Amino acid sequence: AWGTLASSMAPLWPLVLVAASGILAIDTPHPRSSALHHLTKQLLQKYRKEVRPVHNWTQATTVYLDVFVRAVLDVDAQNQKLKTSVWYHEIWDDEFLSWNSSMFDEIREISLPLSAIWAPDIIINEFVDLERSPDLPYVYVNSSGTIKHSKPIQLVSACSLETYAFPFDIQNCSLTFNSILHTVEDVDLAFLRSREDITHDQKAFLNDGEWELLSVSSTYNILQSSAGDFAQIQFNVVIRRRPLVYVVSLLIPSIFLMLVDLGSFYLPPTCHARIVFKTSVLVGYTVFRLNISDEVPKSTVTTPLIGVFFTVCMAFLVLSLSKSILLVKFLHDEQCSQREWTFLCLRGDTDAEGSGMDPLAQLTGVTESPICQEHQAQPWTLREVWSQLQRISSYFQTQDQADRQEAGWLALLERFDRLLFQSYLVVLGFYTITLCSLWVLWSGL
């Protein structure tokens, strides 16, 4: 009986297998990858990326922008360039990339290649160079047609850098975004967040370098030109330098050098050791300037105040050293002239003693009698004494005149030295007050 039943059911087995496979196919859901593939194919099949994605061409496409400053990588004052790391976000609506999510397994957001869709031609006006920015070729598109494009940028931008207040300088650099071809009637710009949130948001900034972020203010305006009116958004990045390392390595050693140089004014002007001391200080200044040449920013627009002050102090030091050298040279010449005058006086005395004999007797060769010589010796002795007294008086008069002249030069050089000292104190006080004021202004921001 079982064999007869099996033989009669044999032709029905294929139908049973087909029915079972159909039931399994109905109970098993379609994979989401097939729905995603079908949705992507349907969106891009007839898409034209060359055309601005609006049904009504008179309606402008609004692009929402946002910028997060991540870090300040380099500040090049010599070339007036700022290198920053920023996160750039832009959002716009594409009316040709929307779908009904219920028809595609409730898929509400997909990623598409940026090269396959229309994208706004937004540029940065201050752009100079783009360095090592990772290429993110995809964007996110949701079911309503909103496109989100985000990317990190290492941006090198032109900036007017002021280094006069170094190391208490504050820099204000702008990043201006606008469309390069589309006027405001075609592409308009707007803020993705409120301006207050943009200004005070510092969460993304890596606050552990030489520079700290103060604020990022933003403005919107219309740029009018002969080619048309263009929407423009400007972000003003305000940063300030942390000065502690420069205070320790530059300002304090420079003040110590200036105080040592001030101490040299207490040495006597006629002291030869003063020249040696000032020369040593000048060498110290020179070595110090060479050591800090790489730390002080170089700019063709403005010179840092610390560099100006070093130059003025070196000028005072060279002037004081030159004055000391001239004084020593003058005193040396005076002493040499006095020695020559004394030698001439002594030589005149010797000649006078040698010529004590009567010239007439020397010529005739006739010797007088001792009695005549005794009578004539007294007038010649008085005459010699008078001559010696005249020479001594002339010598002391000349010596007194030289002493008065030397005293006059010394008084003049001492007044000049005092003037240099007072000028040095004024410059040092002005420098200290200026640095303290800049520090107070820096800390008050």
What pLDDT, in 10s, does the model give residues 90-122? 999 999 999 998 888 889 999 999 999 999 999
Residue where one domain finishes, among candidates 241, 256, 288: 241
Q: Which residue in the block uniquely carries the two structure tokens 């609004």?
A: 62
User: Tell me, what's the pLDDT at 335?
Assistant: 56
Mean pLDDT of 54-76: 92
237 shares its domain with 283? no
Phi, psi of 203 (to 5 degrees): -70, -35
Q: Say if 12 falls within a structural domain.
A: no
End-to-end, the C-alpha distance of the chain in Å comes to: 103
256 shares its domain with 215? no
CB 312 within 8 A of CB 427: yes
218 shares its domain with 257? no
283 shares its domain with 144? no
pLDDT in tens, 404-437: 766 777 777 778 778 888 888 888 888 888 888 8
237 shares its domain with 250? no
pTM: 0.70
Q: Say if 66 falls within a structural domain.
A: yes
Instruction: Compare 196 and 411 and report the one with higher pLDDT.
Output: 196
Phi, psi of 155 (to 5 degrees): -105, 130
276 shares its domain with 189? no
Q: Say if 356 falls within a structural domain.
A: no
Mean pLDDT of the chain: 78
Q: Is the pLDDT of residue 249 over 50?
A: yes
Domain residue limits at 267:
243-338+401-444
Residue where one domain finishes, among candidates 241, 273, 296: 241
108 shares its domain with 141? yes
pLDDT in tens, 348-398: 544 444 444 444 344 344 444 444 444 444 555 777 777 777 777 776 676
Identify the sign of the CA torsion 424, 426, 428, 431: negative
Beta carbons within 10 angstroms of residue 124's beta carbon: 19
192 shares its domain with 260? no
Query: How remote is the C-alpha of 384 from its chain's centroid?
Result: 82
Beta carbons within 10 angstroms of residue 266's beta carbon: 8
66 shares its domain with 191? yes
81 shares its domain with 200? yes
Q: Say if 354 falls within a structural domain.
A: no
Q: How far apart are CA 221 and CA 226, in angstroms?
A: 16
Q: Say if 347 falls within a structural domain.
A: no
Residue whose C-alpha is closest to residue 329's, from 413, 401, 419: 413
Q: Give me the number of domains the chain comprises.
A: 2
Q: How far apart are CA 275 and CA 281, in angstroms?
A: 10
Residue where one domain finishes, among candidates 241, 270, 300: 241
CB 83 within 8 A of CB 175: no
Query: How remote is the C-alpha of 51 from its chain's centroid?
Result: 47
Q: 132's torsion region: left (phi>0), alpha (psi -120 to 50) or beta?
A: left
CATH of the domain at 271: 1.20.58.390
Q: Say if 98 falls within a structural domain.
A: yes
Q: Is the pLDDT of residue 261 over 60?
A: yes
249 shares its domain with 216? no
Phi, psi of 247 (to 5 degrees): -65, -40
CATH of the domain at 204: 2.70.170.10
Mean pLDDT of 110-139: 86
Q: Say if 6 falls within a structural domain.
A: no
Q: How far apart are CA 197 and CA 215, in angstroms?
A: 10
User: Tell me, what's the pLDDT at 402?
Assistant: 66
Q: Is the pLDDT of residue 130 over 50?
A: yes
Q: Say if 358 falls within a structural domain.
A: no
User: Tell me, what's the pLDDT at 251?
Assistant: 82
309 shares its domain with 408? yes
